[in-house]
A = this chain, B = another copy of it.
C-alpha cells in the first residue's frame, strides 16, 4: 500500500491556482510568478531556495526575449510587489526557482513543474469559468492556456505534503521557466541541482484525459528544434540596378524551398515547417533582410538533430548562393526521453491503490514536444529514473485555445498521486 499523505485542502489549492491563472507571464518573463512562488516557499518554511542564475545555467537559456520586452514585464511585476530583493535577482530573464528540503539519509527525489504562460488572449465568454468566477487573466493578451498554473500548484502542494510527512532523504522541486518556448528545460538540466537526483517526476494536466484518470508514463515526446533565421543582403533599386543588390528574399526562398525537401529518414518520422516570415523592404527595393522561423522535429532526438543540421547546412548554402549572410539562432529545443519502467510501475501502484476514485492508464504517447525531457535525460544518464505523468483534467477546450480550462478536481488528485509516489521513495 502506498502512503496516504495529508494533502492541502481543495480550496487552498484552487485559490493558489486561480491566483497564478490571473497573472500569466510568458517565458523568461515570469518575474511576478517567481516572486510569488518564493513567497509561498518561505511561508512553508523552505529554507533552501535557489532563484534565477542560481537555479539554472543562464548560458543555456534559449529564446530569451529582447531587453525591452524583458524590461516591460519586469516593470509590471515591480509595480505589484515590494520584494525588490527577489526581483533584482531575476532581472534580465533569470526566472524560475528550485526548492530543496532535506531530512536525514535517503535518496534524492525531484519534481519538475513549469511556470510560464502563452501569448493568447483569454476568452471573455460568460460561460468560460475564469470569467464566471472572476479569475480571468489580468495580463491582456496572455493566458495560462496550457495549465502551468495547475503545475505550479502541484509543485507547491506536493512540497507542503512532503514537509508535513515523515520523510528520509532530499526532495527538490524545479519550478522551470519557459517551457512553451522549449527554452528553459536545457538550462535547468545544465544547472547545479539535477545531478544528485535519483528519481524525477514531471506532470502535465489535461491532454484531453478526463479528470480522475492518471497516465503513469507519457512517452514519445517529439524532439524539436526551433531556429530564428535572419538573412541579410544588400538593398538596391529593383528597377534601376537589380544586380547591385544581394537579395535576401532569394536567399530565403532557396533555403525554405529546400528545407521542405530534406530527405525523409529511414529511422522514422520527421517534421519541418517555416513560419513568421517578415521582410519589410518595399517591392521596388531588393530586400536586404528577411527573418523567419524554422522548426524541425523527429520521433527521436537523433532524427531532430538530423533535421536541424540539415537546416543549418541548407540555410548557409542558400545565403552563399545569393551572396547574403545568414544567422541562425536556436530559440528552442527539446529531446525525446521516454519514461523509466521502474517509476511507471511505482506510479501505477499508487493509482491502483486508489482505484475506487482513480483510473489508470499505464503508458500513453505524448503527442507534443516537452523539455522536461532534458531533466529526465540528465537523471537517467546519472543512473536514476524518471517518469512524466498525465493528470486528467476534463479540459473543456484544447490546450492553447482561448477557452482552455481545467476541472480543478485535478489539483488534489495530482498532489496526492505525486506526493504518494514521492513519499514512497523517501520513506
Q: Which positions in A face B, CB cutoff 8 Å?
A: 222, 224, 226, 238-245, 247, 249-250, 252-254, 256-258, 260-261, 263-287, 290, 292-295, 297, 306, 313-314, 317-318, 320-323, 367-369
| CB nearest to A279 among chain B residues | B277
Q: How far is the CA of A257 from the CA of B121 in the complex (A)?
A: 36
Decide: A238 and B313 in contact? CB cutoff 8 A.
Answer: no
- Across the A-B interface, the 7 shortest Cβ-Cβ residue pairs: A260-B261, A317-B321, A238-B273, A283-B295, A275-B283, A283-B293, A277-B279
| CB nearest to A293 among chain B residues | B283
Chain B neighbourhood of A249, CB < 8 A: 256, 273-275, 277
Assuming the A-B contacts A257-B257, A297-B239, A320-B313, are A287 and B263 also in contact, with contact meaning beta carbons closer than 8 angstroms in the complex?
no
Q: How far is the CA of A294 from the CA of B285 in the complex (A)?
A: 11
Q: How far is the CA of A242 from the CA of B284 in the complex (A)?
A: 25
Decide: A271 and B242 in contact? CB cutoff 8 A.
Answer: yes
Write the nearest CB–CB distance from A67 to chain B, whole angstroms.
22
Assuming the A-B contacts A238-B271, A260-B261, are A290 and B277 also in contact, with contact meaning beta carbons closer than 8 angstroms in the complex?
yes
Decide: B257 and A264 in contact? CB cutoff 8 A.
Answer: no
Q: How far is the CA of A247 from the CA of B273 in the complex (A)?
A: 9
| CB nearest to A266 among chain B residues | B241
Decide: A239 and B270 in contact? CB cutoff 8 A.
Answer: no
Q: How far is the CA of A271 from the CA of B226 in the complex (A)?
A: 24
Given B275, B317, B318, which contacts A279 in the complex, CB threshold below 8 Å? B275
Q: How far is the CA of A306 from the CA of B296 in the complex (A)?
A: 22
Decide: A244 and B260 in contact? CB cutoff 8 A.
Answer: no
Decide: B243 and A265 in contact? CB cutoff 8 A.
Answer: yes
Decide: B297 and A293 in contact? CB cutoff 8 A.
Answer: no
Assuming the A-B contacts A224-B239, A250-B260, A265-B242, are A284 and B273 also in contact, with contact meaning beta carbons closer than 8 angstroms in the complex?
yes
- What are 24 A-B pairs with beta-carbon distances under 8 A? A226-B283, A239-B367, A242-B263, A242-B265, A242-B273, A243-B306, A247-B263, A249-B275, A253-B253, A257-B261, A263-B286, A264-B271, A268-B269, A273-B283, A275-B279, A275-B283, A276-B282, A276-B283, A277-B277, A277-B290, A282-B293, A283-B292, A317-B317, A317-B318
Decide: A294 and B290 in contact? CB cutoff 8 A.
Answer: no
Decide: A283 and B274 in contact? CB cutoff 8 A.
Answer: yes
Write the nearest CB–CB distance from A236 to chain B, whole angstroms.
9
